[in-house]
Structure 1
Amino acid sequence: MRITILATLLLAAATAHAAPLEWRGISLSSAEWGEKLPFPGVYGKDYVYPSVASTAYYQAKGMNLMRVGFRWERLQPTLMGELDATELGRLREFVDGTTARGLHVLLDPHNYAAYKEVHVGKPEVPIAAFADFWRRLALQFKDNPKVQFGLVNEPRNMPTETWADAAQAAVDAIRATGAKNLITLPGNGYTGAWSWFESKWYGTPNAEVMGRVRDPLDHMVFEVHQYFDKDGSGTNAECVSPSIGVERLQRFTAWLKANKKRAILGELGGGANAVCEQAVNGALMHLQANADVWAGWLWWAGGPTWGDYFLSLEPGADGKDKPQMRWLQPFLREAR
């Protein structure tokens, strides 16, 4: 059933009085950039890390989780080798400074389950190498309970069974270090909520495979992404309809309930127009109405180098909020 504009507005008003979800935040993107240039690129020119100071804006709005993207290859230049001290220092500076502010940080190797464009599970990039990377990274951050481990951004171009095996190996490697941090587990095929049951273009559906991945501490949530444009890519400013936010999440929500799992909506966004506003509101209201299985959400995106990107929440040079920030305010805690 489609949500009318009036119903959407009434529900949005009611949501303002509901308890927000545990995690509300944003993906700060920039440290993973420059992958198409001669690699690893020049720091400060081809890619940068967001500043700790820049998180104050989002914290003041009521966000409590910052997802920071980076490249596996820059952090570990040789498979099975030591982490690069300089690159680790840049990441640690952001993580330590941001968590010291009271925020949580979700680590995001923004690699699509590949290393130098070769996907995990191929002979050149064995599953053991992915597990080794996470063992090393977990050792660096396991003593900070405000750090969360996102296994990788949007696995793709691989059998779902291979990705599930790789994810399990990474989870096991993380826990073997003694780390108790929250882990977020994406699905195959860009981890779309709307394609969780898809069987046409990425192999066995996530719904049939990903539930077998186990965390011995049971401190793991699924991470799905969802956009509301025609192809679900998030590359178009126009959304399909006011109700598309709810429609693309409902079936995955039912899967979570049936399988007694929880999830975080790791990416969502929409262009600054009335239809997308209603779609985003509908999606976030759906999450809050199903807080038993939804742990939170993150907007895509923010970061220092987006310019006039239509999904960026970074305030302009004049300090004014982007229109989408107004949409999110009913779903955030009161600024402190």
Structure 2
Amino acid sequence: MKLRVIGLLAAFLVSQVSAVALFGQCGGNNYRGATACDEAYSQCLATSVPVPTAPIVIGTVDASSCPSSSPPAGQKFKFFGVNIAGFEFGCNTDGTCATNQVTPPLTEYSSYDGAGQMSHFVNDNKFNTFRLPVAWQYLTSSPGATLNTANFEKYDKLVQACLNTGAYCIIDIHNYGRWNGQIIGQSYPTDAHFTSLWNQIASKYASKSKVIFGIMNEPHNIPSLTTWVTTVQAAVTQIRQAGATSQYILLPGNDWSNAATFVSSGSADALSKVTNLDGSTSNLLFDVHKYLDSDNTGTHADCTTDNIAVFNSLAQWLRCNKRQALNSETGGGNTASCATYFCQQLAFQQANADVIVGVVGWAAGSFDATYVLNEGPTRSGQGWVDTSLVKSCMIPYAK
């Protein structure tokens, strides 16, 4: 489906019988209906979106029973921005991390200017959120150990550069639910080892209201989801007890945090039981990821899906259950197919921003221009030049 963003020219509207509602059909082969989008949305599709005739059942909840399963009009993302990568370089999906490959996106330590990138994204593009991945092994020499002072000082410089822009800054432990091949809380390391890490980090940023704690990047192949949720709860409890009582915390499920399976895998229901110290769920957001390439790996330049069906199902579950999610990793190549599909995905997500509260693209930071999903701007004189995907798809949803 090809998204059309149509300007509402008065002379054009005179000839239309009625405006097309959000994501309604406004074009396509043999289409003879209205072609102008509703002024409140200014977005419609060239082909029709199938509308189920039976009640939609998502997970264990019948969406038709919800008091309100439709998004309000005219929404904007609360969080929108880019991952600033580099401190997690060398990490593999088994939780091993070769810290000698870490490339801090700071000019003091490398040729990459993450601080300048974030300043540009905020001041010129109006982004307001950055995710700052880091390897657990870079921060501590072993599970349960105290923070490596020298390494944490370097990472903190990136966090402070982020905070200095006025943006939200997500601290993301990028270890896939593991330490050197072993699953946290289900063998070694223990929950106590993991919560020691989060106690130390949260204590450093307890007074920073715009720090967001991303408990863990992309857990996968977790044998016991119940045990994993116990680990997540322990981390949340430790963060709150460290004095970070009101900041947002991102709750990661199984299956690589995949938005497509977040409900069906049981992660949504299981993580719904995680609470703050007072038993509330305030500022606890579900952490979901979704790429647009053929196998959802984010390793291909071309995009093959708009993910509207995925995020429609997720949004309805969230709305039914009065919860919210942040899409903290998504993106595509700087290609025509991604300019089409990624724009469509972002349009739909923003239309559901009451429950999908933000999007953080992957990635800028220490990637060079040859990286397949590069979103990093390049220097041009005293300014910056954005990638084609950032220009065509991301900037319009930040302003």
User: Which interval holds the TM-score relative to the shorter structure?
Assistant: 0.7 to 0.9
| TM-score, normalised relative to structure 1 | 0.87
The SS at the match of 1:305 is coil
Amino acid at match of 1:115: W
- Counterpart CA distance in 1 for 2:248 and 2:168 is 11
For residues 83-122 of structure 1, the aligned pairs below 5 Å read 83-122=147-186
- Counterpart CA distance in 2 for 1:211 and 1:258 is 12
* Structure-2 residue corresponding to 1:175: 240
Q: Does the alignment pair 1:27 with 2:83?
A: yes
For residues 255-270 of structure 1, the aligned pairs below 5 Å read 255-270=317-332
For residues 55-74 of structure 1, the aligned pairs below 5 Å read 55-59=118-122, 60-74=124-138
- Counterpart CA distance in 2 for 1:98 and 1:4 is 33
| 1:243-279 residue CA offsets vs partner (Å, 9 max, x unmatched) | x321221111111011110111111112233332222
For residues 118-157 of structure 1, the aligned pairs below 5 Å read 118-157=182-221
* Matching residue within 181, 184, 189 for 2:255: 189
CA RMSD after TM alignment? 2.5
- Counterpart CA distance in 2 for 1:140 and 1:10 is 49
Offset at 1:31? 0.7
* Matching residue within 21, 28, 53 for 2:116: 53
Offset at 1:29? 0.9
- Counterpart CA distance in 2 for 1:305 and 1:3 is 30
Segment of structure 1 superposing worse, 145-154 or 287-296: 287-296
For residues 306-321 of structure 1, the aligned pairs below 5 Å read 306-316=368-378, 318=380, 319-321=384-386
**Structure 2 CA distance for partners of 1:274 and 1:97, relative to 1, 3 Å:** closer
- Counterpart CA distance in 2 for 1:39 and 1:164 is 24
**Structure 2 CA distance for partners of 1:134 and 1:80, relative to 1, 3 Å:** same
- Counterpart CA distance in 2 for 1:98 and 1:206 is 30
- Greater RCO structure (CA 8 Å; 6+ sep): 1
For the 8 Å contact 2:97–2:135, the answer to whether it is kept is: no
For the 8 Å contact 2:139–2:148, the answer to whether it is kept is: yes
Offset at 1:208? 3.4
The SS at the match of 2:313 is helix
Amino acid at match of 1:23: F
**Structure 2 CA distance for partners of 1:99 and 1:63, relative to 1, 3 Å:** same
Gaps spanning 5+ residues in structure 1: where?
200-204
Offset at 1:317? 5.2
Q: Does the alignment pair 1:275 with 2:368?
A: no
- Counterpart CA distance in 2 for 1:124 and 1:186 is 19
The SS at the match of 2:327 is strand
* Matching residue within 270, 281, 292 for 1:209: 270
The SS at the match of 1:102 is coil
Amino acid at match of 2:230: D
- Counterpart CA distance in 1 for 2:168 and 2:4 is 35
Segment of structure 1 superposing worse, 157-166 or 249-258: 157-166
| 1:202-258 residue CA offsets vs partner (Å, 9 max, x unmatched) | xxx2133222112245121111011111221111222224xx321221111111011
Segment of structure 1 superposing worse, 64-73 or 299-308: 299-308
The SS at the match of 1:281 is helix
Offset at 1:86? 0.6
- Counterpart CA distance in 2 for 1:144 and 1:52 is 18
The SS at the match of 2:156 is helix
Gaps spanning 5+ residues in structure 2: where?
6-25, 28-35, 44-72, 107-113
For the 8 Å contact 1:121–1:127, the answer to whether it is kept is: yes
Amino acid at match of 1:251: S
- Counterpart CA distance in 2 for 1:77 and 1:120 is 16
- Counterpart CA distance in 2 for 1:34 and 1:301 is 16
- Counterpart CA distance in 2 for 1:266 and 1:304 is 18
* Structure-2 residue corresponding to 1:246: 308
For the 8 Å contact 1:155–1:163, the answer to whether it is kept is: no
**Structure 2 CA distance for partners of 1:186 and 1:10, relative to 1, 3 Å:** farther
- Counterpart CA distance in 2 for 1:317 and 1:84 is 33
The SS at the match of 1:54 is helix
| TM-score, normalised relative to structure 2 | 0.74
The SS at the match of 1:193 is coil
* Structure-1 residue corresponding to 2:111: none
**Structure 2 CA distance for partners of 1:41 and 1:270, relative to 1, 3 Å:** closer
| 1:140-165 residue CA offsets vs partner (Å, 9 max, x unmatched) | 11111121101010111213222211
* Structure-2 residue corresponding to 1:328: 394
Greater Cα radius of gyration, structure 1 or 2: 2
**Structure 2 CA distance for partners of 1:47 and 1:225, relative to 1, 3 Å:** same
For the 8 Å contact 2:299–2:372, the answer to whether it is kept is: no
Q: Does the alignment pair 1:221 with 2:282?
A: no
* Structure-2 residue corresponding to 1:14: 42
- Counterpart CA distance in 2 for 1:73 and 1:85 is 13
Number of aligned residues = 321
